[in-house]
Structure 1
Amino acid sequence: MTQAVQDIQFRATRAGAASVRGAALPLPSDFALFSEAPAPVLHQPQEVMALLAQACPSFAPEWLEHQRAHGHTLLYIAASAFAHHLLSLCKAGDASCFEAVAACLERAFRDGSQAVREFATIGVLEGVQNVWSSDGADADHFRRHLGSEGQRWWQSLTDFWSGKVPYVGYAA
């Protein structure tokens, strides 16, 4: 085990962090989501899910279980589970992670490959829109936290589903 992993486990244990099958979950401060250093390009959609699990620590056990069961496959299923998780948080009156989640999505749009941007739009944003609307919840409770790129892609999805544009990302 590397020293870095031991340090993370020590800090998580010291802080009373949750664990999954005996392994301490890293603390959000261990991930430098909002560091000053330039963010590396995100190449794979699973990188987005890992960032979202860091931004929303209460989802981390579910993401770890998904990885254990499916590896880095079925990511749209994981994105749907994440949308359900955000809805349950909203219903409980807990939007504390929404800003960090929105920042992760903004990073995916800004620093992601085409596959990453597509997953952030179709997997995550559309997942929130569908899951929340199917439940009768107001997805604007989440949308208002999105940055400019997230807002743009959210609106593109809305325009597509309302028949205003022929495809998501269409620019007139």
Structure 2
Amino acid sequence: MELREVDARFERAFVTFVTEWDDDPDTAREGLPYYLYYAEIARIIANDIRTGNRVRLAPIMDLVEKLHIEGDEAAREGATIGLLEGIQASMLQSNTGLHIANMYLGRESAREWKKLIHFWDHKQSDAPREG
């Protein structure tokens, strides 16, 4: 099962994405910039987490978990970097606590979620300080 099959909003986002990018000259050379599609999906999921939309989140997060467990390396990377990291970025941008997502994450997704938090916390603590 693909993301577009889990939620009609994802299919609409995909159609819009392809329409916007299909005629771009760079697309012919480099292919579609799927990371932009994943970013839009992440924003939709983050909004569902913020609003507590359990009915919509259950099948979405089940698929994300399945990608982490059964997917090949590219699928796992897409689930972590494309989706989970994008969800975190969207939640942080809207000042939403990342802990709110914990109840929706499967076991493997939760593990990857925590790794991302640790990575970015560590990255920020290593950043040069001004002054």
Tell me if TM exceeds 0.5: yes
Query: Which residue, 84, 98, 113 being the options, matches 1:154?
Result: 113
- Of 65, 89, 95, the residue aligned with 1:106 is 65
Instruction: Answer whether contact 2:35 2:82 (CA < 8 A) is retained.
Output: yes
Classify the secondary structure of the residue corresponding to 2:97. coil
Gaps (5+ residues) in structure 2? 23-30, 124-131
The answer on 1:76 being equivalent to 2:35 is: yes
Residue from 97, 101, 114 that aligns with 1:138: 97
State the partner residue of 1:54.
5
| Larger Rg, first or second structure (1 or 2) | 1
Give, in whole Å, the separation in 2 of the partners of 1:158 and 1:131: 14
The answer for the alignment partner of 1:5 in structure 2 is none
Between 127-136 and 141-150, the greater mean CA deviation after superposition: 141-150
* Equivalent residue letter for 2:12: P
| CA RMSD in angstroms, aligned pairs only | 2.2
CA distance in 2, matches of 1:63, 1:128: 17
Verify the 8 A CA contact 2:46 2:88 in the aligned structure 1.
Answer: no
Task: Kindly indicate whether structure 1 or structure 2 has the higher relative contact order, using CA contacts under 8 Å at least 6 residues apart.
Answer: 2
Q: From the two aligned structures, give the one with the greater helix fraction.
A: 2
- The gaps in structure 1 that reach 5 residues or longer are 1-32, 34-50, 165-172
> Partners of 2:39 and 2:68 in 1: how far apart?
19
TM-score by length of 1: 0.58
Task: Using structure 2 for the length normalisation, give the TM-score.
Answer: 0.74
Moved over 4 A (4+): 90-93
Q: In the TM superposition, what is the alpha-carbon distance from 1:143 to its structure 2 partner?
A: 3.2
The code of the aligned residue for 2:20 comes to A
Q: 2:84 aligns with which of 122, 125, 148?
A: 125
Deviation per CA, 1:21-59, whole angstroms, max 9, x where unpaired?
xxxxxxxxxxxx5xxxxxxxxxxxxxxxxx223222233
Question: Identity across aligned pairs (percent)?
Answer: 23
